[in-house]
Amino acid sequence: MKYKYNAISESGKKVVGSLVAEDKKELEAKLKKRGLVLLSAEPKRGLKKLFSFGNVSLKEKIFFTRNLQVMTVSGLSLTRSLEYLSSRVSDKNFGEAIAEIEKRVSSGKKFSESLLKYPEMFSNFFYNMIKSGEETGKMAEVLGILTHQMEKTYQMKSKIISALIYPAVIVFVMLCMFATMLVVVVPRMSEVFDNIGTELPVSTRIVMGTGRFLSENGIILLLFFIIIFAFFSIFIKTGLGNKLVSFLSLKIPIVTKITKNKNSAHIGRTLSSLLKSGVSINRALGIVADTTQNYYLEKAVLDSSREIKKGRNLSEAFKKNGELFSPLFIQMVEVGEETGATSGTLLEAADFLEEEVTRSTMNLTSIIEPALMIVIGIFVGFFAFSMLQPMYSIIEVL
């Protein structure tokens, strides 16, 4: 099978490429011979697999990990726990994957090694956490950390979506209302005005022209927007698209603070989880970089890894790209190093910054809502004025 991989060299440089290997373990061994450490890998998919739905929801993964942790603590064997959970998860594909993992574990393979067959379901972070649990003999503790990590991620995403859903619904409803008025109401009124033959104001002609255009080209326009949306969805997943979105998210004043806090919280929580489970700092930073979605923050984390190899401590390494991180995050890292409790302070920083992200998002929506009302009011006023003005003119003539 051919894998597309992300790896890091001994000098700390990120390497992207593709290589043929039987499985992910063999790929890791081949890269190790080349002096590279594997960060993540995905099998290259054909068209059939490209359009398959292999990803599993975060909620489903939380259910699996939490229950596996509870069963491990109670003394139930790993194979029996996996066998039970394979029939309890609601996602059929996920259940089949767990059943296959259980078979591999029963045949003598390690749990972490068995996870490598499903890179689209179990991330590199998940794999490394389980691997460290096996090496340290603290599987229950690692599963607990994993569960907590995913629950916090899920909670933050849910809060952000909840905060943004109301403005989104308002915009959608108003767009539908305006489209209906322009396509259905305006053409009928246009017929009335045409029959009367009176001179129409400029604003009325604009509204009527827009209505006619939408009536005649509505389907083409809808298809155009669908194509644009699809193109944009694909573009942002490319390297150039990710760079552009990452750049804008760090430069637009309204969202810059939210972006920095959100990514700093993610980096802090992920790094804390990895350090707690016994992963070395350089290896942990490589994994964190791989899970960071912002291109520039990913580079900053990898740069920090190189600085640590030169002998600098973590706070100094982060300060080199300090403008990309939350100031509080770097301060908390410094405090953690001074007190010898880096993983704990990273977790505290992540908790605080996640609350900040939620508050900032709520504040943003409190600004968006009245702004939307003003814009909607202007459009409604313009439409009403444009349609009523000719009627008043007709009444005056009569």
Angle separating helix axes 253-276 and 327-339, nearest 10 degrees: 20
Report whether 367 contacts 358 (CB < 8 A). no
> Amino acid identity, residue 327?
P
The tokens for 170 are: 């308002």
Q: How far apart are CA 248 and CA 362, in angstroms?
A: 21
First to last CA, the chain: 82
DSSP code for 3: E
What does the chain come to in residues? 398
Percent of the chain at pLDDT exceeding 90: 17
CB neighbours (10 Å) of residue 366? 11
Q: Which of 245, 220, 222, 248 is nearest to 233 (CA)?
A: 245
**pLDDT surpasses 90 at 277:** no
For all residues of the chain together, what is the average pLDDT? 83
56, 58, 60, 62 alpha-carbon torsion, rounded to 10°:
140
DSSP code for 17: E
CB neighbours (10 Å) of residue 256? 13
Question: Tens of pLDDT along 135-157?
Answer: 888 888 889 988 988 898 888 88
pLDDT bracket for residue 44 (50, 70, 90): low
Half-sphere exposure of residue 260: CA atoms within 13 angstroms, side-chain side: 18
Beta strands in 35-125 (DSSP E): 36-43
Q: 321-348: string of b/e by CB count within 10 Å (b at 16+)?
A: beebbbebbbebbbbbeeeeebbbbbbe
**pLDDT surpasses 80 at 394:** no
Report whether 91 contacts 55 (CB < 8 A). no
Report whether 40 contacts 58 (CB < 8 A). no
What does the pLDDT read at residue 83? 92
Q: Which of 109, 113, 105 is nearest to 86 (CA)?
A: 105
Helices (H) and strands (E) in the chain, counts: 17, 3
What does the pLDDT read at residue 47? 36
The tokens for 258 are: 């939210």
**pTM for the whole structure:** 0.70
pLDDT bracket for residue 345 (50, 70, 90): very high
Residue 271: which residues within 8 A CB-CB, separation 6 or more?
284, 285, 288, 343, 346
What does the pLDDT read at residue 159? 82
Question: Tens of pLDDT along 283-319?
Answer: 888 888 888 888 899 889 888 888 888 888 888 889 9
The tokens for 280 are: 């070395």
pLDDT bracket for residue 45 (50, 70, 90): very low
> Amino acid identity, residue 305?
S
Report whether 362 contacts 163 (CB < 8 A). yes
For the chain, the structural domain boundaries read 2-50, 58-122, 138-398
318 CB burial (10 A radius; 0-12, 13-18, 19+): buried
What does the pLDDT read at residue 363? 83
pLDDT bracket for residue 49 (50, 70, 90): very low
**pLDDT surpasses 60 at 53:** no
Rounded to an integer, the average pLDDT of 363-382 is 83
Q: How far apart are CA 366 and CA 11, in angstroms?
A: 47
Question: How far is C-alpha 378 from the geometric centre of its chain's CA atoms?
Answer: 35
Please write down the long-range contacts of 307-311, taking CB distance under 8 Å and 24 or more positions apart: 308/281, 308/282, 309/12, 309/282
More confident: 393 or 369: 369
DSSP secondary structure, 216-272, as one string: HHHHHHHHHHHHHHHHHHHHTTSHHHHHHHHHHHHHSHHHHHHHHHHHHHHHHHHHH
Fold of 138-398: Receptor-associated Protein (1.20.81)
CB neighbours (10 Å) of residue 58? 14
